Amino acid sequence: MKALLAFEDGRIFTCKSFTGPGETIGEVVFNTSMTGYQEILTDPSYYGQIITMTYPLIGNYGVCSKDIESDKIHARALIVKEYIDFYSNFRATETLAKYLKKEKILGVEELDTRALTRHIRNKGAMGAVISTFDLDPESLIKKAKKIKPIQGNDLVKKVTTKTPYLWHNNMPDYILEKDSINLSIWRYKGKKYSVAVLDFGIKYNIIRCLEKAGCEVLVLPAETNADIIKKLKPDGIFLSNGPGDPEPLNYAVNTIKHLLGYCPIFGICLGMQLMALAMGAKTFKIKFGHRGANQPVKNFLTNKIEITSQNHGFAVDINSIKEKGIEMTHINLNENSLEGFKNNALNAFSIQYHPESSPGPHDSLYLFNQFTKMMAL
Amino acid sequence: MPKRIDINKILVIGAGPIIIGQACEFDYSGTQACKALKEEGYNVILINSNPASIMTDPDTADKIYIEPVTSEIVEKIIEKERPHALLPTLGGQTALNTAMKLAKKGILKKYNVEIIGASEKAIKKAEDRELFRNAMNKIGLKIPKSIFACNINDVEKAAQKIGFPIIIRPSFTLGGTGSGIAYNSDELLDFAKKGLNASLINQIMLEQSVLGWKEYELEVMRDSSGNIVIICSIENLDPMGVHTGDSITVAPAQTLCDKEYQEMRNASIAIMQEIGVDTGGSNVQFAKNPKNGEIIVIEMNPRVSRSSALASKATGFPIAKIAAKLAVGFTLDEIKNDITGKTLACFEPSIDYCVVKIPRFTFEKFSETKDVLSTSMKSVGETMSIGRTFKEALQKGLRSLEIERYGLGADGKDIDIEKISKTDIEKKLVIPNSKRIFYIRYAFKKGMTLKNINELTNIDPWFLWQIKEIVEFEKIIKLKGKNLSYDVLEKAKKLGFSDKQIAHLTLFSEKEIKIKRKKLGIIPVYKLVDTCAGEFKASTPYYYSTYEKECEARISNKKKVIILGGGPNRIGQGIEFDYCCVHASFALKEENIESIMVNSNPETVNCSIWRSNAFKSC
């Protein structure tokens, strides 16, 4: 089915839908990971975005129910060079097209994804419309121009859990009675590290990694305030990844300010940006973001290089960290941007990339143990 | 860590004459290494016996010995030159074996020469079956199960533990008599009895067979700080049982999900650490059970290999050059990525195209050799093709073989499938051979199902489905015949069909198709190989052609000349034409003329970027 993709700057790409009719809007970004399309689609950090996979053949290994990173697809659409409607993998349960259709997500193919990637690289991530209904370029460009920019918007409220949950049997165990959010909620208090997670759009694999490191994980809505969290007496607090701009999330920054110094805190991605804001540093939007599984990061504490999985469109201003006297622990070797910092006085540390991988290399799993070691002290 | 200043004179051992399994890829790696070491100010001494190599050009090293690559000769050179270090990991198995002999004889110790790249201990651990087995056990990785048996009772017990099929290898026999593969207990008993008799010590080894499993390779690099990166993953179209050198291979791996790929990545890193390769490139091979995903380590080469040459050309990451720099102490984060000029060599290339390598055989020249592929390599050359789809790359690759085929088929060169029986096709599918890829097409045309072909060949259904799509599209082209629309013609080109194939299917002439195509504006574009899938700007002009919308070729106003490379090596046309191309490019440069190299052979030096102004893979 013929489809058209129109960018707000007027660039048009003709393509074909492989998931039937539809129309959708979003910020177009590209990911250079050659594997992991299902994990990427279900990562809540992609909320509101249209994902382009730079690897041209997508669908090869189908989808598998074990490979989800949240309860649904958060991306708005998927753009590929060639959709492969035949999978070969013993783990697969269905084709990617069927999965996208079930989740009502548009998938388009047969466009020059490399040209599109270069366009975004040169001009920056921007809004676009994909449609199979409206094939008039002028009308689509008009629609694309009306798209609200991601900057300045609170996207976390769209993806954070409404109901708190404990992680049980590799899935959320929702706590429906509000009154039960108290100290008695922990089932393994004293046996495992009790970790309260502020959910800004967490990936399941972060929870799995925390669990593997010996934690019992309680996931809380993003707007949970510091008093409630303190009443739970957690051994540690985790600030999750999530979509969009950290700056409008005043409530979260405020909560973190009240929690810093209370117990060990670990933040990943948006969690790091929010922690930085709470410490008085600054954040900004980067031109087209880092999305892939091959970015080299140097750990100053070990002098080792980790190949990392990344997905972020905003970053912490490295100078503002230096000015605040916060210790940098990790930098990106490609462009010397900030990838991690720690604050010993406040017992807190953060990482910009995704140590939980999924998809991507497992080089950085040690960070979860670093967190439990802090809680052991 | 910066480069070492405690060593200055380095002896590099080349691979010697071209033999099957060791061709000009080691000229490529050796040349790159010598150049890189010279660039860093080291005094490079080279020994190689092959005069047709770029490596033995006077300016590649400071001193070159064109002598037989044997431990005796190398000893004499060491005695005379007194090098501080010996780099044996870039000259194939010949160089590695020679270095090991020198170490064993105590010559390296005597003259105080240090092996750099991989230590004697690491090489031993990777090459000795028993040491390798222990090393893999230690890190929890599986290798094919094997059990020794001295009587039939032992054999029966062992068979239960291993499971069929089982390979029987008698210990201490002359010429491997008595070995075979048993698929059931009757066959096993038969082989076991013969084997026990044949063995001088009445002992046989029973080994788990992984015939038909999926085969993968990962190219790994490590620096002296212990940083490890994966350069490329390769999936073999031909499953286990066919030597990798004789297999059609594809980069990157196509049918692994992220969790499976990471499992293999983790295993490769663990192997690199456990074997203890200090610095440089290695190659790890895995077999994977398609039914349950179980992986088994087949082998590890603690040196650059043929696959490294392919991986370098497939990704744009110059493995041999970087390996040489790592050997003298640099770390990955101290070396720039030549292609982007900005980012570092410490990363894992991401590619946005599909690469297919196809071996070139010369069975017609050796009538006594049967066209059957197995575990010993028989191909004499190879071709690499790049496309935006697997189908495009496959057809392009088959064309580049220069065996007068213009794609997978429908080029006027097919056998008459009416005249060949289904049984004959089945035979060609069951026993791997140089023409099997064409017979898969015949099988589909004859109405055989994908499942059926998979059962006969064990080739992964994903590849078979891709081939089927090519076959299906032939029908569409034929059906449209004289009224080829823009859409059909464009799609045909995107699936890798040549004008000749389209002409054959539509009964037009090749020229007519070409004119029609150009009139419709369906012309190839050139895309960059940039190591990073477009994320960063690339500065080196390494292109492949494809049918897409945007062309990235940067065309200068300079005078320019196209140099056509020799394509895949074959008998009578080998490395010497690589030599000629490289020198032609040099001569043009001296005259301030831009040279554009066109070639399809990934083993060659002329395909590497620093030699010419632009390189286009066909």
ipTM of the complex: 0.97
Instruction: Assess whether pLDDT exceeds 50 at residue B302.
Output: yes
Residues A219 and A346 in one domain: yes
B567: enclosing H helix or E strand? none
Q: Helices (H), strands (E): how many in chain B?
A: 20, 21
CA separation for the pair A367, A357 (Å, rounded)? 12
Instruction: Assess whether pLDDT exceeds 70 at residue B214.
Output: yes
- Which tokens sit at B349? 């290339």
CA separation for the pair B70, B18 (Å, rounded)? 15
- Which candidate from A88, A91, A121 shows the least CB-CB separation from B535? A121
Average pLDDT over residues B406-426: 95
Number of neighbouring beta carbons within 10 Å of residue B507: 10
HSE of B357, CA atoms in CB hemisphere, 13 A: 29
Residues A16 and A130 in one domain: yes
HSE of A283, CA atoms in CB hemisphere, 13 A: 27
Residues A208 and A318 in one domain: yes
Contacts A304 to B, Cβ<8 Å: 225-227
Does A274 map to a domain?
yes
Chain A nearest CA to B343, separation (Å): 5
| Strand, helix or coil for residue B269 | helix
| Residue B100 near residue B303 (C-beta atoms within 8 A) | no
Instruction: Assess whether pLDDT exceeds 70 at residue B334.
Output: yes
| Strand, helix or coil for residue B10 | strand
Cα–Cα distances (Å) from A46 to B218, B348, B511, B613, in that order, read 30, 23, 49, 41
Partner-chain contact B535 A114, CB within 8 Å: no
- Based on its alpha-carbon atoms, the radius of gyration of chain B, rounded to whole angstroms, reads 25
**Cis peptide preceding A359, ω within 30 of 0:** yes
Average pLDDT over residues A139-151: 94
Q: For the domain that residue A268 is a member of, what is the CATH number?
A: 3.40.50.880
Question: Active-site residue among A109, A269, A306, A339?
Answer: A269
Residues A18 and A109 in one domain: yes
CA separation for the pair A44, B618 (Å, rounded)? 42
Q: What does the mean pLDDT of chain A come to?
A: 96
- Which candidate from B290, B354, B532 shows the least CB-CB separation from A57? B354
What confidence score (pLDDT) does residue B482 get?
Answer: 84
- Which candidate from B352, B461, B552 shows the least CB-CB separation from A56? B352
Which DSSP string corresponds to A147-209? PPPSTT---HHHHS-SS-EEEETTEEEE---GGG-SGGG-SSBTTBEEEEEEESS--HHHHHH
Chain B nearest CA to A32, separation (Å): 6
Does A195 map to a domain?
yes
| Residue B464 near residue B450 (C-beta atoms within 8 A) | yes
Residue written as tokens 């073989």?
B401
* Confidence tier at B606 by pLDDT (50, 70, 90): low
Partner-chain contact B354 A114, CB within 8 Å: no
Partner-chain contact B290 A35, CB within 8 Å: no
Instruction: Assess whether pLDDT exceeds 60 at residue B244.
Output: yes
DSSP 8-state secondary structure symbol assigned to residue A326? P
Residue B462 CA, chain-centre distance (Å), reads 21
| Strand, helix or coil for residue B335 | coil
| Strand, helix or coil for residue A193 | strand
Residues A43 and A186 in one domain: no
* Confidence tier at B212 by pLDDT (50, 70, 90): very high
Number of neighbouring beta carbons within 10 Å of residue B251: 28
Q: Which amino acid is at A165?
A: Y
* Confidence tier at B607 by pLDDT (50, 70, 90): low
Chain B nearest CA to A375, separation (Å): 28
| Residue B327 near residue B316 (C-beta atoms within 8 A) | no
Residues A182 and A304 in one domain: yes
- Which tokens sit at B291? 């039914």
Residues A213 and A346 in one domain: yes
Residues A118 and A175 in one domain: no
- Which candidate from A39, A54, A61 shows the least CB-CB separation from B533? A54
CB-based burial of residue B139 (10 Å sphere; 0-12 exposed, 13-18 middle, 19+ buried)? Answer: middle
Which of B250, B257, B322 would best serve as a mutation to test chain A binding (most A beta carbons within 10 A)? B257
What confidence score (pLDDT) does residue B572 get?
Answer: 81
Chain A nearest CA to B420, separation (Å): 30
In the residue annotation, A354 being an active-site residue is answered as yes
Instruction: Assess whether pLDDT exceeds 70 at residue B610.
Output: no
Residues A297 and A162 in one domain: yes
* Confidence tier at B608 by pLDDT (50, 70, 90): low
What's the farthest any 2 CA atoms get from each other in chain A?
Answer: 63
Q: CA-CA-CA-CA torsion for B411, B417, B423, B424, nearest 10 degrees?
A: -50
What domain range is A192 assigned to? Answer: 156-376
CA separation for the pair B69, B29 (Å, rounded)? 17
What confidence score (pLDDT) does residue A48 get?
Answer: 95
Partner-chain contact A294 B548, CB within 8 Å: no
What confidence score (pLDDT) does residue A287 get?
Answer: 92
- 301-330 in A: which are within 8 Å (CB) of B? 303-305, 307
Contacts A295 to B, Cβ<8 Å: 347
* Confidence tier at B95 by pLDDT (50, 70, 90): very high
Which of A85, A295, A305 would best serve as a mutation to test chain B binding (most B beta carbons within 10 A)? A305
Does A176 map to a domain?
yes
Domain boundary among the residues A114, A145, A176 is at: A145
Average pLDDT over residues A264-293: 97
Chain A nearest CA to B405, separation (Å): 26
Percent of chain B exceeding pLDDT 70 equals 97
Partner-chain contact A33 B258, CB within 8 Å: yes
Residue written as tokens 């060599």?
B345
Does A114 map to a domain?
yes
Question: Active-site residue among A69, A109, A247, A356?
Answer: A356
Q: What's the order of all strands across the beta sheet hosting B114-115?
A: B63-65, B43-47, B9-13, B85-87, B114-115
Instruction: Assess whether pLDDT exceeds 70 at residue A208.
Output: yes
| Residue B417 near residue B443 (C-beta atoms within 8 A) | no
What confidence score (pLDDT) does residue B609 get?
Answer: 47
In the residue annotation, A290 being an active-site residue is answered as no
- Which tokens sit at A160? 């954070």
What confidence score (pLDDT) does residue B618 get?
Answer: 40
- Which tokens sit at A270? 């948006």
> Comparing C-alpha atoms, which of A354, A333, A351 is closest to residue A342?
A351
**Closest B-chain CA to A92:** B257
Does A211 map to a domain?
yes
Least confident range from A159-168, A195-204, B597-606: namely B597-606
Residue written as tokens 């720099």?
B325
Ranges of H-type helices in chain A: 37-42, 96-102, 113-123, 137-145, 156-159, 204-212, 226-231, 250-259, 270-278, 318-323, 366-376
Instruction: Assess whether pLDDT exceeds 70 at residue B176.
Output: no
Contacts A334 to B, Cβ<8 Å: 342-344, 347, 536
Overall domain count for chain A: 2
Chain B nearest CA to A131, separation (Å): 20
Helices B461-480 and B436-445, interaxial angle, to 10°? 60
What confidence score (pLDDT) does residue B613 get?
Answer: 46
- Which candidate from A82, A91, A121 shows the least CB-CB separation from B389? A82
Give the sign of the dihedral formed by CA A215, CA A216, CA A219, CA A225.
Answer: negative
Chain A nearest CA to B452, separation (Å): 15
pTM attached to this predicted model: 0.95
- Which candidate from B290, B388, B534 shows the least CB-CB separation from A117? B534
Does A127 map to a domain?
yes
| Residue A240 near residue A197 (C-beta atoms within 8 A) | yes
What confidence score (pLDDT) does residue A195 get?
Answer: 98
Instruction: Assess whether pLDDT exceeds 60 at residue B396.
Output: yes
Q: Per residue in B347-367, pLDDT tens? A: 999 999 999 999 999 988 887
Partner-chain contact A115 B550, CB within 8 Å: yes
Instruction: Assess whether pLDDT exceeds 90 at residue A184.
Output: yes
Which of B352, B465, B528, B543 would best serve as a mutation to test chain A binding (most A beta carbons within 10 A)? B352
Residues A252 and A332 in one domain: yes
Q: Per residue in B189-199, pLDDT tens? A: 988 998 888 88
Domain boundary among the residues A86, A116, A145 is at: A145
Does A150 map to a domain?
no
Does A151 map to a domain?
no
* Confidence tier at B612 by pLDDT (50, 70, 90): very low
* Confidence tier at A131 by pLDDT (50, 70, 90): very high
A33 touching B, CB under 8 A?
A: yes
CB-based burial of residue B62 (10 Å sphere; 0-12 exposed, 13-18 middle, 19+ buried)? Answer: middle
* Confidence tier at B289 by pLDDT (50, 70, 90): very high
Number of neighbouring beta carbons within 10 Å of residue A302: 13
Q: For the domain that residue A94 is a member of, what is the CATH number?
A: 3.50.30.20
Residue written as tokens 């999985």?
A309
Residues A179 and A249 in one domain: yes
> Comparing C-alpha atoms, which of B403, B441, B443, B414 is closest to residue B426?
B443
What confidence score (pLDDT) does residue B174 get?
Answer: 63
> Comparing C-alpha atoms, which of B349, B431, B362, B437 is closest to residue B393?
B437
In the residue annotation, A39 being an active-site residue is answered as no
Contacts B353 to A, Cβ<8 Å: 56
Partner-chain contact A307 B229, CB within 8 Å: yes
Q: Which amino acid is at A82?
A: E
Domain boundary among the residues A92, A110, A145 is at: A145
* Confidence tier at B539 by pLDDT (50, 70, 90): confident
CA separation for the pair A110, A92 (Å, rounded)? 24
Partner-chain contact A67 B347, CB within 8 Å: no
Q: Which amino acid is at A23?
A: E
Residues A141 and A228 in one domain: no
Contacts A51 to B, Cβ<8 Å: none
Residue written as tokens 């958060």?
A74
CB pairs under 8 A between A and B: 158
| Residue A287 near residue A124 (C-beta atoms within 8 A) | yes
